[in-house]
Structure 1
């Protein structure tokens, strides 16, 4: 006889939105956060978080934003979620706007304004932290702007700390010989990876605990989810979300394999999907 599901919860356990409180910390993510913290706290300038789509880069940035925004006495933090600027000057002006720096008509005047802002922060014992998501979208001149900003420094430390989160296209861009100067400024980059089957199991359990529901997935179901998704967090969550919803509609607490199998077939985008 089927067992009724746990009471409905207003907070969904398997949404793919980058909610920091729902981010399960794998060893890889813990190491990534350690590296970023080292760069920021020691004022080393630039670090990277790279990986394929769906591995949690945006979630990590949102967590960093949350953590460092709570430390405003020493760090002023801003996030650019999607860089889409027509020129390096517009990119610079957008960065300045995030930090409430007045806009200026010329590149030189805007750079001087930004430099003065950073120096003022430094005199108060603070630093600026700029988080940029989808950084693989930055064209060459805008990557050079990143290098220019990193030139603002004292004899001991950088005045701005920058974290670029990007797909692996950014790594390919930085390999270009014209980007050697920027590449040499990267400190302790991180490369995210897919989860193991054990980490997949632990992430699902963590998500259920966060919203106070019973875990509806059997070990066998989790093995299937891992096989279908390769441990890519976003795809794991997509399969779990659809499985969980289907289970609620069916009125079962422990999800049978046929529901999980069906959800896996429907939830994940397939490259060779054909029109029916």
Structure 2
């Protein structure tokens, strides 16, 4: 009879031994964003210079809000996190938010809540010493904010939000400090339901001492300005994040492996040089793809009981990731959305709204609405070419759907 406790214990021990056979203490390839630890952060020299220039100018009154744009998995979240910790180190107020996890109604409330929780309250729950004289008012606002969750059907008036922001920014915050707002996945705001929120940003982002960074897809600013043209003036700076160079890709892999190596391990152990070359070549400089491929390769090697990861294992890892992720996406789509992405595949993987509407026999308006929803979920990309906007399948969907067609 199998004892489940012994089974788990023995399996865990076997995995540890197998990991040592690969000359690793642990699997060093984690998808978690960097949290103030820069030892795995590679490249981005020009982007960091641009951010440093923005910081320097903002501290002397010349505030220029910026958009950080790039393809999915390129490292936007990690860069925002670097900015967050750099801001905290300099004593500025800083707030991190992910737009896709917050409704428009909740967003401003969350900004207020996080401003207080992350910057004015100590770990033990008391007001930081430099803000003691404002403690009664700060705690009054904080207690009210705790009661306003998405599931709480209570209206937090816009006038109260504006009044509380004004108090925190103009009375509590020191003049020499910035209030830095970091918004990840900001594409979530590029829809009509967020118009009132964007209109609020028109004045909010012009407040003295506020510096904002919005991260999103390459078309983020085009999409935001379609909903609210004034956003172009409020976020005039665009920082593009290109793929890592080959040298940076090798460096990313090497740094993580070195951190997890046991004694006597060679530079890229347990990967062969050919396996590393294949990962760098196939992952196109996208950090998330590199990390996922390396992690899956290690998992396959553990299951197979081998001590070296060669090109064959890397190829298996890429196939597993492509199939599993692609099919999960398809299962998540509605029948109408699934029909559209399959049609995109049949048209070669990329098409305009007009071409798709004609191909499927639907109105451009209907097709455009579905494409916008799929795009907001991050499953397709879009790019302007002259007067036309082309929607393109993500690699995960491309791998599944194009293979199905073949």
Pairing 1:4–2:21 present: yes
* Structure 1 unmatched ranges of 5 or more: 154-158
From 385, 397, 401, the counterpart of 1:271: 397
Number of equivalences: 261
Pairing 1:24–2:41 present: yes
Provide the C-alpha distance between the structure 1 equivalents of 2:207 and 2:77, rounded to a whole number of angstroms.
Answer: 27
Provide the C-alpha distance between the structure 1 equivalents of 2:174 and 2:83, rounded to a whole number of angstroms.
Answer: 24
SS in 2 for 1:254: coil
Provide the C-alpha distance between the structure 2 equivalents of 1:238 and 1:127, rounded to a whole number of angstroms.
Answer: 36
Provide the C-alpha distance between the structure 2 equivalents of 1:266 and 1:42, rounded to a whole number of angstroms.
Answer: 47
**Pair 37,67 (structure 1): closer, same or farther in 2 beyond 3 Å:** same
Q: CA shift at 1:79, angstroms?
A: 0.7
SS in 1 for 2:21: coil
From 73, 94, 117, the counterpart of 1:54: 73
Provide the C-alpha distance between the structure 2 equivalents of 1:175 and 1:82, rounded to a whole number of angstroms.
Answer: 17
* Dislocated runs of 4+, deviation >6 Å: none
* Structure richer in helix, relative to its length: 2
> What RMSD in Å do the two structures reach over aligned CA positions?
2.7
Provide the C-alpha distance between the structure 2 equivalents of 1:65 and 1:15, rounded to a whole number of angstroms.
Answer: 20
Higher radius of gyration, 1 or 2: 2
Provide the C-alpha distance between the structure 2 equivalents of 1:86 and 1:256, rounded to a whole number of angstroms.
Answer: 46
Pairing 1:255–2:309 present: yes
Q: CA shift at 1:86, angstroms?
A: 4.2
**1:120 matched to which residue of 2?**
171
**Pair 55,7 (structure 1): closer, same or farther in 2 beyond 3 Å:** closer
Structure 1 range deviating more: 12-21 or 55-64: 12-21
Native 8 Å contact 2:84 2:96 kept in 1: yes
* Structure 2 unmatched ranges of 5 or more: 1-19, 117-137, 146-155, 326-395
From 197, 200, 208, the counterpart of 2:246: 197
TM-score, normalised to structure 1, is 0.82
Structure 1 range deviating more: 263-272 or 90-99: 263-272
Pairing 1:80–2:97 present: yes
Q: CA shift at 1:188, angstroms?
A: 3.5
Native 8 Å contact 1:79 1:132 kept in 2: yes
Pairing 1:99–2:115 present: yes
